[in-house]
Structure 1
Amino acid sequence: MQEKEMFDLTIIGGGPAGLYSTFYAGMRDLKVKLVEYNKELGGKILFYPEKIIWDVGGMPPTTGRTLINQLVEQATTFNPTICLNEHIVRMVREPDNTYTLFNEQGKAHYTRAVMLASGHGIPVMQKLEIEGADRYEVSNLHYTVTQMDIFANKRVLISGGGNAAVDWANELANISKEVVVCHRRDEFGGHEKNVEQMKSVTKIHTPYQIKELHGVGSAIEAVTLAHCDTGEQRQIEVDAVIVNHGMKLDGCFLIEAGLALEEDGFLRVSACMETSQPGIFAAGDVTRHEGKLQLISGAFVEGATAVNGVKQFLDPKADKQAYVSSHNEKFKKKNEQLKQEKQAQLMN
């Protein structure tokens, strides 16, 4: 029988909002659990780990992967419970006003409050709807680019016409033997300047889409493209295929939970980031409100605001916010450890 361990706060979603909220919940002395759908933390940043991020305050330009690593390190400061590979599909409010969350396998999580930080649903890459395509995913069929160098000196086909596809084409043109781009429309959705650059450094096939993959074993060796209007076909030899056809979002959990939504489908929240259900808060891309800041930094602010709301929901007499870290007793011992480590490094 599953042990019923109660947490003060359970955060659903391990992107920037969820990770920073996990850290800040530790500052507020909350017993916190973070539940993430994917096998690793990072949220949507996982889809562009090599892209450079400039707009996080106080940080130099850094890759998505580096930012994820730093957020995870910060989130684990106060030893939270972290659960990966769990898709929360149902939420039940109990008679004592606590909540029980259930994943797809029926495992239960018990909590006094909930924070939704899962974005506008769970992002899932749109995959090729071609029979047998999945067998190539272990070798040279890619739905995102996590390491540029694996495409060095290779013939690469990119299928897609959005910002990500255009950016990848321009980046890979510098290191790959050849970059070919196919798109089912004549026009590309990326930024005009980037599209013009792409057209000058790659081979373009429009309006064409992937018709068939040809390979031996688990590796693609050639691709048949078909004209979207005439059906005319052409075959090109490749060493790697990158598909960027956008993402599907699984947001049914929010609807089934009975939470009030704005007209555009985002969660309606109060000034303290509480939803229409008592004890359920939200932060990040899942919300829309007046003054919404569509930056990672905005997700941090919303996360901290939501955690403060949770703290006062659980204890109305609690302080409205945590004492700043530079003068917070919770960090005294940790600061001493950092000083000792720095001194040891200088001595070496």
Structure 2
Amino acid sequence: MSSEYDLTIIGGGPVGMFAAFYAGMRNARVQLLESLPELGGQVQALYPEKMIHDVAGYPAIKGRDLVAQLKAQLDQFPIDIRLNSAVTDVTGAMGDFTITTVDGQQSHTKAVIVATGSGAFEPRRLAVDNATDFENQELFYHIPDMEQFTDKTVLVAGGGDSAIDMALMLEKVAKTVYIMHRRDRFRGMEHNVDLLKASSVQIKTPFLIKEMTRTENDQVQLTMKEVRGTAEEQLTVDKLIVNYGFIADNKVISNWQVTPTMEHRLINVDTQMNTDIPGIAAIGDTVAYPGKLGLIASGFGEAPNAVNQLMMTIYPERRSPLHSTTLFEKNSK
């Protein structure tokens, strides 16, 4: 049975998008499958306003803008993009895998690249009894639109780079910004912490939110309790952003009939991004190997590696071009 596609990229986050683009440069017949209703993965769904600083060539770029640039790259090639298409099963073998998606559709592909990131995800929610009463009104788990925080008093809860980035972004538009962390020391990169301490953002540590009450003015009165202590503080804000990370799950992969070996919910790969299943590679946050860094920049480097080695396996008679200029010259003829 002949395959409909040379490569199927499973996962439409930034790394999956770049892999599909690079496969397009290799003249591969490509489909890109994404479980969410839009491309961009966690960057687009959770951090569209976050400034990203580790992408080569950009001193800083908003998450949504990075996704838009990646989409512009994709649009140069006839890549089949299917949204709302979670993969429920992979069967077959190298040269003719069958991909089944949640809507029951099936397609055939010679090889597969798994770029599902951390898998299905949802934010770690605030552990306060009535927190759901405030969600998407005063309580948010990401910043969908900066303008709704203009001239507001805002508290960001969290201590990592994402929380610090959010606080520094909000400083430019909000009236007052606080950041609360349960430890005295922040977990962000040293430069980010230095920027935070030099900013006007007011730091509250080490505290956790104990209670929250809506006031008559539609503000939120927060009771913050000292960690490993008895002290309490009250703070009234217009908006609360909780950035405690997210809960991710890649268990859907373990339900496939053809399943790469996984440890601690991550796929084991070799230096060429091959899994232990011939014809299936994996890249991005979903993989584990010695020295792996959980950066978008790392995933961008892994994508061409995976595409090239699979294309060489599928088409051994084709010589892999060394430079992108060579690829574009070839495709323009």
The TM-score by the shorter chain falls in which range? 0.7 to 0.9
Alpha-carbon distance, 1:191 to partner: 3.9
Give the 3-state SS of the residue equivalent to 1:328 in structure 2.
Answer: helix
Q: Distance between the aligned counterparts of 2:58 and 2:201, measured in 1? A: 34
Does the aligned pair in 2 maintain the 1:91–1:99 contact within 8 Å?
A: no
* Structure 1 spans left out of the alignment, 5+ residues: 333-348
Query: Does the alignment pair 1:190 with 2:188?
Result: yes
* Letter matched to residue 260 of structure 1: T
Does the aligned pair in 2 maintain the 1:10–1:113 contact within 8 Å?
A: yes
Q: Distance between the aligned counterparts of 1:11 and 1:289, measured in 2? A: 20
Partner of residue 169, structure 1: 167
Partner of residue 331, structure 1: 332
Spell out, residue by residue over 1:94-146, the C-alpha distance to the aligned partner (whole angstroms, 9 max, x if none). 37963333445655444332111122434432122444534533333221234
Alpha-carbon distance, 1:231 to partner: 6.4
Q: Distance between the aligned counterparts of 2:150 and 2:104, measured in 1? A: 45
Change (3 A) 1:227 1:103: farther
Partner of residue 127, structure 1: 125
Q: Distance between the aligned counterparts of 1:157 and 1:54, measured in 2? A: 23
Partner of residue 284, structure 1: 284
Partner of residue 267, structure 2: 267
Q: Distance between the aligned counterparts of 1:265 and 1:82, measured in 2? A: 26
Change (3 A) 1:57 1:194: closer
Does the aligned pair in 1 maintain the 2:89–2:101 contact within 8 Å?
A: no
Give the 3-state SS of the residue equivalent to 1:138 in structure 2.
Answer: coil
* Structure 2 spans left out of the alignment, 5+ residues: none
Give the 3-state SS of the residue equivalent to 1:112 in structure 2.
Answer: strand
Q: Equivalent residues in 2 for 1:1-348 (5 A)?
A: 6-46=4-44, 47-59=46-58, 61-88=60-87, 90-94=88-92, 98-104=96-102, 106-192=104-190, 194-195=192-193, 198=196, 201-215=200-214, 221-229=220-228, 234-257=233-256, 258-261=259-262, 266-289=266-289, 295-321=295-321, 324-325=324-325, 328-332=329-333
Does the aligned pair in 1 maintain the 2:94–2:278 contact within 8 Å?
A: no
Does the aligned pair in 2 maintain the 1:28–1:322 contact within 8 Å?
A: no
Q: Distance between the aligned counterparts of 2:202 and 2:293, measured in 1? A: 38
**Larger deviation, residues 60-69 vs 313-322:** 313-322
Does the aligned pair in 1 maintain the 2:27–2:331 contact within 8 Å?
A: no
- Tell me how large the CA RMSD over aligned residues is: 3.5
* Letter matched to residue 287 of structure 1: V
Q: Calculate the TM-score normalised by the size of structure 1.
A: 0.77
Does the aligned pair in 2 maintain the 1:272–1:308 contact within 8 Å?
A: no
Q: Distance between the aligned counterparts of 2:210 and 2:283, measured in 1? A: 41
Alpha-carbon distance, 1:254 to partner: 4.1
Give the 3-state SS of the residue equivalent to 1:77 in structure 2.
Answer: coil
The alignment of Structure 1 onto Structure 2 pairs a total of residues equal to 326
* Letter matched to residue 285 of structure 2: D
Change (3 A) 1:139 1:187: same
Change (3 A) 1:293 1:234: closer
Spell out, residue by residue over 1:200-245, the C-alpha distance to the aligned partner (whole angstroms, 9 max, x if none). 734444333223333389x653333344446665543221110001
Change (3 A) 1:158 1:318: same
- Rg comparison, structure with higher value: 1
Q: Distance between the aligned counterparts of 1:303 and 1:203, measured in 2? A: 40
Q: Distance between the aligned counterparts of 1:50 and 1:194, measured in 2? A: 17
Does the aligned pair in 2 maintain the 1:50–1:65 contact within 8 Å?
A: yes
Spell out, residue by residue over 1:288-322, the C-alpha distance to the aligned partner (whole angstroms, 9 max, x if none). 44675765444333212222233233333333348
**Larger deviation, residues 233-242 vs 191-200:** 191-200
Change (3 A) 1:321 1:294: farther
Alpha-carbon distance, 1:189 to partner: 1.8
Give the 3-state SS of the residue equivalent to 1:101 in structure 2.
Answer: strand
Percent identical among aligned pairs is 36
* Letter matched to residue 71 of structure 2: V
Spell out, residue by residue over 1:138-187, the C-alpha distance to the aligned partner (whole angstroms, 9 max, x if none). 33322123443432211111111222222322343343222233333343
